[in-house]
Amino acid sequence: MSGGRVVGAVTSVAAVLVLAGCGGGSDESARVDQAARYAGDDRQGYLEECAREEGSLSVYTAQNTDLWQPLKEGFQRKYPGIKVETTRRTSAETAETLSKEARAGVDKADVVDVKVEVAESLLELLAPFSSPELAAYPEGAIGPDDRYVISDQIPYGIVYNTDKVSDPPKTSEDLLRPEFKGHIAMSTTLLGTQWVGWMESRYGEEFLERLGEQDVRTTDANGNAIIAQVAAGEALVAPAVDLAGVEALKSGGKVAPIAWLPIDSHWTQGALSMAAKAPHPCAAMLYIDYELSAEGQTINPLYLSARDDVPAPEAVQGENEPVDIWEIVGEHSAQAYQDASRRWTELVDRYIVR
């Protein structure tokens, strides 16, 4: 099952941010800033009254359905008079949509939730905001000029079939063992290419060349499909697989002979923000407060919070804590990410895909 190509690994979102002539004036900006920054003692009452008048909000999200749907339902139970309209696309697609709407002077999005590396390329389209919930977040979880907060995290590591592998990998280099040749599954979507970049950084390009000689079973399917392959014994082991997907399969009542290992683990991190020209800023701020709250952060336990008071699973604590995207890139900038992503794609094509 080889021959999968790299799909959507490189999408230049920074290049499309042309903001001149987007429409709107100082009154609109002041209205958004008032809601986003309001810090009076009556903040909660002010936002609720204003949000009820607005009546709805629009969320542009790249979150999986099993996270955004419970968040939406929980928010609407708390604020039944406020309707939440959710539009789900990939992070790159969301960025492209926001940029096109900005150029056209169309303001539809209130809340934006995309991967942190994509949020970095959208900063001019995001509003600085403040929330009482931020006190529970470390400084590193808060983006430049308070324009986003890391709201959800998923660790990616290695999964293996516990029935068929008696000696599981202990390092990524163990994937080069002879018994795994022809039995490694790997997705060539974005997370697979990021893992390849991480492996180049840790072990060098020679490791990737040797990995390619293992006849990796590449596919452009998502992580859930990879997990299913390993659980069915179609592959013995797979890198760049998320813990949430593995736990979801195991908790679904099925017998799943799989285990997840925090080997060279890395995060995907979602960044929550308010659109700079949100048409419903009070409702947007209430939604952001809710998602960042302890309740919102524990609404699906398979997603890990950046909050200091929500502990991570033992598997990813201490020395096993995953690295973030900027450690893999080597520099915290949207342009550096774009450049690195192109290189990772080239490495996958050169060494892995056959």
Q: What mean pLDDT is predicted for residues 167-190?
A: 96
pLDDT tens, position by position, 286-302: 999 999 999 999 998 88
- pLDDT, residue 29, reads 85
**Which residues, 6 or more positions from 67, have their beta carbon under 8 angstroms from its beta carbon?**
152, 299, 300, 303
Q: Do 69 and 202 share a structural domain?
A: no
pLDDT at 315 over 80: no
Q: Do 90 and 222 share a structural domain?
A: no
| pTM, entire model | 0.86
CATH assignment at residue 113: 3.40.190.10
Domain residues for the domain of 56 are: 24-153+269-297
Q: Do 241 and 338 share a structural domain?
A: yes
DSSP 262-288: EEEEEEEEEEEEEETT-SSHHHHHHHH
Mean model confidence pLDDT for the chain: 89
Q: Do 344 and 221 share a structural domain?
A: yes
At CA 139, angle to CA 317 and CA 277, rounded to 5?
A: 120
Contact in structure between 242 and 234 (CB atoms under 8 Å): no
Q: Do 198 and 75 share a structural domain?
A: no
- pLDDT, residue 66, reads 87
Lowest mean pLDDT among 230-239, 299-308, 342-351: 299-308
**Assigned domain for 8 exists:** no
**Which residues, 6 or more positions from 36, have their beta carbon under 8 angstroms from its beta carbon?**
127, 128, 129, 130, 274, 281, 285
**Assigned domain for 1 exists:** no
Q: What mean pLDDT is predicted for residues 82-106?
A: 95
Q: Do 78 and 31 share a structural domain?
A: yes
Note the maximum CA span of the chain: 66
pLDDT tens, position by position, 4-41: 333 333 333 333 333 323 334 457 789 999 999 999 99
Q: Do 321 and 196 share a structural domain?
A: yes
Question: Count of residues for the chain?
Answer: 354
Q: Do 173 and 130 share a structural domain?
A: no
Cα–Cα distance measured from residue 350 to residue 354, given in angstroms and rounded to the nearest whole number: 9
**Assigned domain for 4 exists:** no
Q: Do 63 and 148 share a structural domain?
A: yes
pLDDT at 1 over 60: no
Q: Do 257 and 123 share a structural domain?
A: no
Give the residue among 127, 118, 147, 139 at the shortest CA–CA distance from 269. 118
Count of the separate structural domains present in the chain: 2
pLDDT at 173 over 80: yes
- pLDDT, residue 325, reads 94
**Assigned domain for 303 exists:** no
Cα–Cα distance measured from residue 296 to residue 312, given in angstroms and rounded to the nearest whole number: 15
Q: What mean pLDDT is predicted for residues 239-261?
A: 83
pLDDT tens, position by position, 41-67: 999 999 999 999 999 999 999 998 889
**Assigned domain for 193 exists:** yes
Q: Do 332 and 220 share a structural domain?
A: yes
pLDDT at 250 over 90: no
**Assigned domain for 208 exists:** yes
**Assigned domain for 41 exists:** yes
Cα–Cα distance measured from residue 297 to residue 306, given in angstroms and rounded to the nearest whole number: 9
Q: Do 171 and 54 share a structural domain?
A: no
**Assigned domain for 252 exists:** yes
